[in-house]
Amino acid sequence: MLPTKRDNDAAEVRLSFVRSLYLQRGTPLTGLIAHVITASAIFAKTGDPFYLYVGVALTLIWAVRMFGMLAFDRRDDGEFTLAQTIRWERYYVAGSVVVAGTLGIMCAYALVVSHDAFAELASISITLASLISVVGRNFGSRLNVDMMILAVCVPLTAGFLILRDPFMVVLAGLLFPLFMTTRSMANGVREFLFNTVMAERKAGQLAERFDIALNNMSHGLFMLDGDGRIEVLNNKAREIFRVQSTIDLRGRTLRLALRLAARNSILPPEDLENITRRIENLASGRDRRLLIRFSDDVWLEFTSRLRGNHGVVLIFEDVTARIRQEEKILQMARFDSLTALPNRNWFQDLATSRLAKLKKNRQVALAVFDLDDFKHVNDTKGHVAGDRLLQAVATNLKDICGDQIICSRFGGDEFVLFFPDVADMTALGEWMDKIANGLSGHYQIDDNRIFVTVSGGVAIAMAGGTVLDDLHIKADIALYDAKRRDKNRWSLFVDSMDEKYSARQKLKGDLRDAIINGTINVAYQPMFTPDGTRIAGAEALSRWRHPELGPISPAVYIPLAEEIGIVNDLTRCMIDKAVADCASWSEDLFVSVNLSAYDLATNDIVRVVDEALSRYNLSPLRLHLEITESALVDDANSVRRILETFRSRGITVAIDDFGTGYSSLSYLDILPLNKVKIDRAFVANITEDGRKLKLLRGVVNLSRELGLSVVVEGVETDEQLKVILENDCADLIQGFIFGAPMPAASFVDLAARMSGKQETAPSKPAGKPARRVRG
């Protein structure tokens, strides 16, 4: 078992006791002189040489002990082990016992042999006097005390008893309590001193630990007495107040420490009185906690603990890092991390606060601005450039608005402004023009020069009873109106906008319900062979008949579907119905379905098509999928991989409205296509414009060279059809010349009638051809 700390301390105290035995050289010498004189006097009185032998023996014993003490001096290097301490203690005890035993024998000899009253009195007196040193000098060793008492007690008691005198026996009996009392006194002194030394040592250790803890605190500390004077301060307090260690502040007032801090530029001299007063209030108990800003943007937090009538303890710490972190957290909670403008919540608080201070008859306004076609910047320049553009616009906005208008970024490219006091519409219009014109223009973002236009909407109301959220909704409606009117402008909200907005929102909800409930209908426009004798298939076109408004044009509801993000649901509905209908047709007919850019953004469309084909057991060869060039703009490679998946399943892939984009020829090369559908723009005026015919023939020849079949759309007149036939420009014809979009039942009936006819030239359906809007 390892020794405990108390064991180590006890060993050190024991060593100090043993060392005290060896260091007191005068007492043994004094005792020797007394002993030799006594023995010599008895010899002179009695003439007995025994006493001379005792004197010589005591002298020799003293010399040997002195030699041992000198040896101890040479070994006393402060690094004694406990075993060495015990060994030196026993060496000392041996000398003490020999001396005590010699004196005891001299007493017994005087009683039993000499029978001389002086010899008895002198020997007993000097022996008992020597025992006093047990208490006064030899208490340091319990073993020494016990052995010396025994060495004296045993021969002296034996001497009394050998005389066989009753009175001497009584004296022998009285020696025992005398010796026990002497032993108890010596042990008591030793225990008292041991406990005192241990207590002092423990107190010293506690004081040392307290001092270490005090001076290693992360907090500064001043302990003040009842008069406000410093009793204790730690190193951290000196460090914070920059007080040199040579300056003793104990007994000085706290005001002096603060003056030293001001002299050392810890706190501004002009704030000295104010800070001193506040800290003195804290020290008096009037305050419990105090946060003070010192020089160099340093913050110290003080707390006080009263000590009754004995003063107070002031503890303080440098909380600058915490304050800065709190400010940073507050900044993050209140401001947009990208533009440093107030965020939505902080804008709401600021605007509400300003609104509450206004008179009810004052006018306020809320405006919303965003960047026109900002998505295009992110798509073409990257999101990093987009973020930097937003930062530049925000900086510009802050410079324009100053402190008069509360500006905020709500997210994306949406900036919201609150006008806390609008004099009239003229003033508001001037501000809106200034902001719109100031934000528009060229911005240099890294190596890119980006031209920006903005659209805005603003709503105005009286301060009394204004709800900011309602005002924001109206401003959004006005913004929508501005964007609807070709963007790069701002609009003021009027009530009629709300009606249009509500009607549009209702139409969005009705469209969503129609798709969910499957009430979107499908019309089929047939595709004929050029001679018009056979129907090869049909293109599926969506149709929506509103229960209240009647038929809704695809040009209206398809943009709505894109706006609310349900184009994929519309496509899924169309694929399901078209595949289901085609499965009931003659096996030589196909159905063609349009896919939008939204459908080709992910691989989900592959799963939708596979599930529909599997559900209705339709051969993939009878399904044609049409894509437009606009679907290829964002990620042509991703679209190509999806189309290759369709091709691998046997599905025919066609590019629709070919020739209306910017990169048509390159798409013919890189995409896995089966068919090209030539846009009606190539057919219009084909009979009057020879260049149009040459362009059509060139595209057809190029497509066929690449192994692609050709469908010509928008054929409406006999003259157009004749030119196409004469120049062999089509594999299939789709247009009003042969048939307009029709319900599924009508298409099935037409296909059945056409399959029963002989191969004769068809007659054009009666009625004036009309242009279609394809959905």
Give the closest residue to 410 by CA, choosing from 365, 477, 355, 476.
476
730 in Cβ contact with 711 (< 8 Å): yes
Q: What are 717's two structure tokens?
A: 């007149």
701 in Cβ contact with 731 (< 8 Å): no
Given this model, what pLDDT does residue 525 score?
A: 93
Given this model, what pLDDT does residue 411 score?
A: 84
Q: What are 278's two structure tokens?
A: 């506040």
Given this model, what pLDDT does residue 749 score?
A: 92
Dist. CA 604–CA 35, nearest whole Å? 119
Given this model, what pLDDT does residue 250 score?
A: 78
Backbone φ and ψ for 196, nearest 5 degrees, come out as -65, -45
Dist. CA 682–CA 693, nearest whole Å? 8
Q: Give bridge partners of residue 709 from the DSSP assignment.
A: 675
Given this model, what pLDDT does residue 141 score?
A: 64
301 in Cβ contact with 291 (< 8 Å): yes
Give the closest residue to 575 by CA, choosing from 544, 606, 535.
606
Calculate the alpha carbon distances from 358 to 347, 463, 753 in Å: 17, 7, 78
Q: Return the amino acid letter for 323.
A: I
Given this model, what pLDDT does residue 11 score?
A: 62
Q: Which residues of the chain have pLDDT under 50?
A: 1-7, 663, 758-775
Given this model, what pLDDT does residue 403 score?
A: 83
Q: Return the amino acid letter for 346.
A: W
454 in Cβ contact with 371 (< 8 Å): yes
Dist. CA 696–CA 774, nearest whole Å? 22
Given this model, what pLDDT does residue 495 score?
A: 74
Given this model, what pLDDT does residue 555 score?
A: 84
Dist. CA 675–CA 666, nearest whole Å? 15
Backbone φ and ψ for 415, nearest 5 degrees, come out as -115, 130
Given this model, what pLDDT does residue 295 score?
A: 67
**Total-model pTM:** 0.49
Given this model, what pLDDT does residue 770 score?
A: 35
Candidates 3.30.70.20, 3.30.450.20, 3.20.20.150, 3.40.30.10; CATH matching 220-324: 3.30.450.20
Give the closest residue to 94 by CA, choosing from 157, 31, 141, 34.
141
42 in Cβ contact with 107 (< 8 Å): no
- Torsion 572-574-575-577 (CA) sign: positive
Given this model, what pLDDT does residue 633 score?
A: 56
CATH superfamily ID and name for 338-493: Reverse transcriptase/Diguanylate cyclase domain (3.30.70.270)
Dist. CA 441–CA 428, nearest whole Å? 22
Greatest Cα-to-Cα distance within the chain, rounded to the nearest angstrom = 179
- Burial (CB < 10 A; 0-12, 13-18, 19+), residue 469, is exposed
For tokens 């469209």, the residue is 511
Q: Which long-range contacts (CB under 8 A, 24 or more apart) does 669-672 make?
A: 669/706, 670/636, 670/640, 671/632, 671/636, 671/639, 671/640, 671/643, 672/640, 672/643, 672/644, 672/646, 672/647
The H-or-E segment that residue 546 falls in is strand 535-546
Given this model, what pLDDT does residue 608 score?
A: 94
Q: Return the amino acid letter for 708.
A: L
- Burial (CB < 10 A; 0-12, 13-18, 19+), residue 232, is middle
Query: What's the CATH fold of domain 519-756?
Result: TIM Barrel (3.20.20)
How many CA atoms, within 13 angstroms, populate the side-chain half-sphere of residue 573? 22
Who's near 762: CB < 8 A, 6+ residues apart?
A: 528, 532, 533, 738
